[in-house]
Amino acid sequence: MDINDIVARIHDRAITRRDLHKVMAAAGIVTVAVPIAGRAADEAGQAVYFTWSGYDVPEFYSKYIEKYGAPPEAPLFADNAETFAKMRAGFQVDLAHPCAGSMVTKFRNAGLLQPIDTSRLSNWPDVIPPLKTLDGNIYEDEQYFVPVDWGQTSITYRTDIVNWKGEPESWGLLWDADYAGRLSVLDAAEDAWWCAAIYAGIDVQNPSEADLVAVRKLLEEQRPLLRMYSSDLTSVEQAIASGELVAAMTWNSSPLTLTQQGIPVKFADPKEGALTWVCGLVLAAGAPHYDKAHDLIDAIIDPSTGEFLIVDYGYGHSNLKSFDLVSEEDLAARGLSRDVMGVLNKGVFVLVVDPAISTKIENDWSEVTAGF
């Protein structure tokens, strides 16, 4: 299969991005970026869903496909900052998939969002109540964010290579000069900056100016030790499997994927605490497919989607009924339970809603990763 055939199959939805990674890996190509979609929203007549890589598969919105006979358009972004920048620049979508906290407030304050009509969502009553009311989700009694997925950011490491020397697991592994050139962190401030902040021991809910300076210093010290910054988890997982990397900052899905491949890895439980997060859906102001957008939200928070998300990706889902479709054994193997807030609060759950702090963090991250 040549590259032109692969691209054609992507556009025809005959191959998903998830399958594409497998094809390219088999061909010996480690990283690939093939853009989907140049079609205007109105041409296809389907909702446009701006989302993360891996969330653009039919299993994530099967009820929508059943109703409309086709999937939504699903252009991809790398992180929350890219989503905000593109939407502010005029990129027209119906839904986007940022994470809870300051980003939702930032999107709303910029005039990029409109409230979601939860009365249109048949699955809304089954969404876990504490996730509905997280700071920033509701403004003037209207819902601006529908939670979908939740989980942890921690370190996936090779158990046959990393030696903790009798010490407990720690974020310090990603600053360990013994493994220089064989470490990786996620190329996203909302993960990497906050994980460094946890390691620094600062008050993550109310960071001071001195705290921001301290975290930036840690990130600058880390930079020369890294093999790569990357949010392409397929490439990161391949590098861990080959031994090119011995440890990398990842989400829950990576240790699950690697373990299923027989690679000896563990998802660390850092003594300082893992970073926990909740991501979900926002409705764009002026969304061209308002009705379909609500149907898409409802499909994404359906229990069948939740079962897929839990079993295949290892993430938690916002619909509590999803957990009834998964065995206790499978939940335990993924570090999940029906006690959602218990899992989230076990780590460090960051919900800073001050956009000024978020902007400072994003700027610092951009400068550090660029070597400024």
Residues with Cβ within 8 Å of residue 176, at least 6 apart in sequence:
183, 225
The amino acid at residue 125 is P
Phi, psi of 223 (to 5 degrees): -50, -50
267: β partners: 156
Residue from 81, 79, 147, 91 nearest 116 by CA: 147
**365's torsion region: left (phi>0), alpha (psi -120 to 50) or beta?**
alpha
Helices then strands, each counted (H, E), the chain: 16, 14
The amino acid at residue 272 is E
Q: Which helix (H) or strand (E) holds 9?
A: helix 3-11
The CA-based angle 209-269-83, given to 5 degrees, is 55
The pLDDT tens digits along the chain (372 residues) read 444 444 344 333 344 333 443 344 334 443 333 333 333 444 459 999 999 988 999 999 999 999 999 999 999 988 888 899 999 999 999 999 998 877 898 899 999 999 999 999 999 999 999 999 988 899 999 999 999 999 999 999 999 999 999 999 999 999 999 999 999 999 988 899 999 999 999 998 889 999 999 999 999 999 999 999 998 889 999 999 999 999 999 999 999 999 999 999 999 999 999 999 999 999 999 999 999 999 999 999 999 999 999 999 999 999 999 999 999 999 988 888 888 888 888 889 887 757 788 889 989 999 999 988
Please name the residue that has the structure tokens 């620049």.
Answer: 89
pLDDT at 100: 87
**d(Cα 211, Cα 208) in Å, to the nearest integer?**
5
- Of the CA atoms within 13 Å of residue 369, those in its CB half-sphere come to 18
**243's torsion region: left (phi>0), alpha (psi -120 to 50) or beta?**
left
pLDDT at 311: 95
Domains of the chain plus CATH, in order, are 3-150+277-343 (3.40.190.10), 151-276+350-370 (3.40.190.10)
Q: Packing angle between helix 102-109 and helix 80-88, nearest 10 degrees?
A: 0
The structure's pTM equals 0.80
152: β partners: 276
Three-class SS state of 349: strand
